[in-house]
Each structure stands twice: as structure tokens, then as C-alpha cells.
Amino acid sequence: ARSRERVVLAATQGEHHAVGLRMAADVLEGAGYDVHHLGADVPLDELLQACRRLAPAAVGLSVTMPANVPTLLWEIDALGRLDAPPAVFAAGPALGPAIQQGLDVPRIDGVEGLVAIVEALLAQPAGRRVLPPGLTVCAPGPAAFADTGVVTSGTRDEAFARTALSAADAARDAARHAAALEHLAFRDALTGLWNRRGYDDHHGRIAPPAGPGGAVLMLDVDRFKDVNDSRGHAGGDAVLTALATTMLRSVRPADVVARLGGDEFAILLPGTDVPGGLAVARRIRQAIRDELTDPAVTVSIGVSPVAGSQRQTSLAADRALYDAKEQGRDRVVVAGR
């Protein structure tokens, strides 16, 4: 009867993975709930704005790292202060101690029984207190820690809570900084694809296979200089960005799409044999012809199996790409054929 209710799902600020929430979203959507999945590392302000806009009946939060539990608690506290506070349920292995200390929210350990738990939660009286007074000291609002002075009441518990939360904030900032540095080191700034360094790193992880180790596609844009001459570098950049989007839609999530430089791209297809790589290359070539029409863009692609060293594989794919150019462009050529 409550399956038309709206549910918001979000990973607590500082949590960079939300795979479990995506599965929960699929289950609840299948049961007829109107689900809004906000994703990972959702800041409190963004969570509250979404709840004010969507007025959900329930909010599901996840936390996997103990350092983020204080953040989860003040998020729950803030949700309870909304004009129309939603019911709250939570998931994650780090929840145990908080629930043992009186946090009164349903704990989701898996998707089995999730619908029944949410239905039971929505049947409870609205506005009930889920965060007992003994835990509120561990969940102060962010403004309470805006400066470096002593907490007003000066209790040992509050001082400890402040220190723990500050340490958690510092750890989250360090993690975000590390992620940003990794992005700069391994990602192409224009397209967001892997760069040559990122591609080489993924290629080096492919172990000698018992079956197909993978296939490599080398690709570049036919007569890309003409595009730059007619549309300018901004137009050329727009073509490269659109090309990246089209390629990503044509491969699997586990495949590695990289911009090696200029208009040269490489795609690593782990566990794919040459016929499979050829099929993917043809699909990409046709998709680019169909989708990139202003200006009209075609590509040439070389296909090679992952065999021998990385250098040998790349040279073989490069040679196949060169042959595709020599044979008239806008075509796919397999190495050695």
C-alpha cells in the first residue's frame, strides 16, 4: 500500500563507494517506490536540499568506515530537524557500535527483506526520535566545530567527540586530495578518459592468460587536421569529447578507454579474443559515423590480441591502424591480416 512513497538513498559524506545502495535502489524501484539515488560522498547540504525538494517518506544512508560514523549521526540529527522529517534506515558494517549505543534506525544488512523493512518503517509514527541524547554529543552540527576553540560545555566527552570528528574530517580531506592527484596523474584533462599513463598501468595488470588475455584497439580520427582548420581548436576539442562519449557507450564498464594524445585513442578489452575485438571495433566505427555528423567524422581502427610484451602488442595494433589508413581510412584492420 505504501509502494508509491518516495525514497532517497545516499552514501554518507566521505564514503566514496555506493554499490550496495545502487542494488537497494533497484530492489525498491522494482517494488514500485519512487527512488532517488544521490550516489557516494553526498555533502550534508546537498542531502538536505534534496530532501526539502523531494519530501521523501524515507531516507537510506550507508557508512562503511568507522571514521565516518560521527558524520552519519549528525546527518541523521539534521534530517530529524527538517520541517517534514523522513524516516531513516541505514546500511553498512560500521553501524554496529552506534546501534548498540541506542541509535534506533533499521539496519539493512542486504537486499533480502529490504522492501518489508522499509514498509514496516513507513508504518511507524512520523517524527519519532531515533538519535538518543547520549549520542547527540557525538553528532554535533558542523557549525559547532567551525573554529579551534574549546567546546562551550567543556566536557571530556564533547572534547573527545570534537577531536574524533576533526580527525575524520582531516582523513576525508586527505582521501579527496589523494583522489584528485590520482585523477590528475591518470586521467586526460579534456575527455576524462584514461591517459597514456593510466592505460599503461591497466595494460600491465593483465596476467599471462589461460584463455584470451584481451584485445587492443588503436584508433584515430581520419583527417583530424581538417576539423581543426575548419572549426578551430575549440571545435576539434568538441569532436574529441564527443568521440570519447561515443566510445564509452560502446564498451563494457570494465574496458579501458584512453586518449594517448592528440586524436589517438586506445581501448583495452580484457578477456576478449580477436573476433570479439573486431566486433567491438566495428560497432565503435559505425556509432561514430552515425552520431558525429556535424562535422562528419570517421575513424580508422587497428585491432591486435594482447600477446607478448606490452610494447609488442602496441606495435602490432599501431601497424594495423597504419594499414587501415593506407587502405583508404574509415575501416577496421586486424593485425597480421
For 192, phi then psi, to 5°, come to 80, 0
Contact at 8 Å (CB) between 42 and 10? yes
Alpha-carbon 187 to chain mean position: 14
**Position of cell 577531536?**
163
DSSP 291-304: H-BTTB--EEEEEE
The C-alpha atoms of residue 274 and residue 337 are separated, in whole angstroms, by: 12
Report the chain (337 residues): mean pLDDT per 10 consecutive residues.
Answer: 77 80 86 88 90 92 84 87 91 81 83 87 78 52 37 47 56 54 70 89 68 85 93 92 93 91 94 94 96 95 90 93 95 92
- Cα dihedral sign for 63, 66, 71, 76? positive
The C-alpha atoms of residue 105 and residue 92 are separated, in whole angstroms, by: 12
The C-alpha atoms of residue 302 and residue 285 are separated, in whole angstroms, by: 11
Q: What is the pLDDT of residue 29?
A: 87
Write down the pTM of the prediction. 0.50
Contact at 8 Å (CB) between 289 and 320? no
Helix pair 19-30, 114-122: axis angle to 10 deg: 70
The C-alpha atoms of residue 239 and residue 293 are separated, in whole angstroms, by: 10
Burial label, 212 (beta-carbon count in 10 A; 0-12, 13-18, 19+)? middle
For 3, phi then psi, to 5°, come to -70, -5
Contact at 8 Å (CB) between 323 and 332? no
The C-alpha atoms of residue 285 and residue 282 are separated, in whole angstroms, by: 5
- Cβ contacts of 191-198, under 8 Å, gap ≥ 24: 191/240, 191/241, 191/243, 191/244, 191/259, 192/244, 193/244, 193/248, 193/257, 193/258, 193/259, 193/265, 194/256, 194/257, 194/258, 194/259, 195/258, 195/259, 195/260, 196/258, 196/260, 196/261, 198/256, 198/258
Q: What is the pLDDT of residue 241?
A: 93
Contact at 8 Å (CB) between 114 and 108? yes
β-strand pairing of 34-37 with 6-11:
parallel
Contact at 8 Å (CB) between 65 and 175? no
For 250, phi then psi, to 5°, come to -100, 0
C-alpha cell at 286: 559505425
| Dihedral of the alpha carbons of 308, 254, 331, 186, in degrees to the nearest 10 | -80
DSSP 101-135: TT--SPEE-SSTTHHHHHHHHHTSPTT---S-HHH
DSSP 53-67: HH--SEEEEE--SGG
Cross-strand bridge partners of residue 264: 220, 261
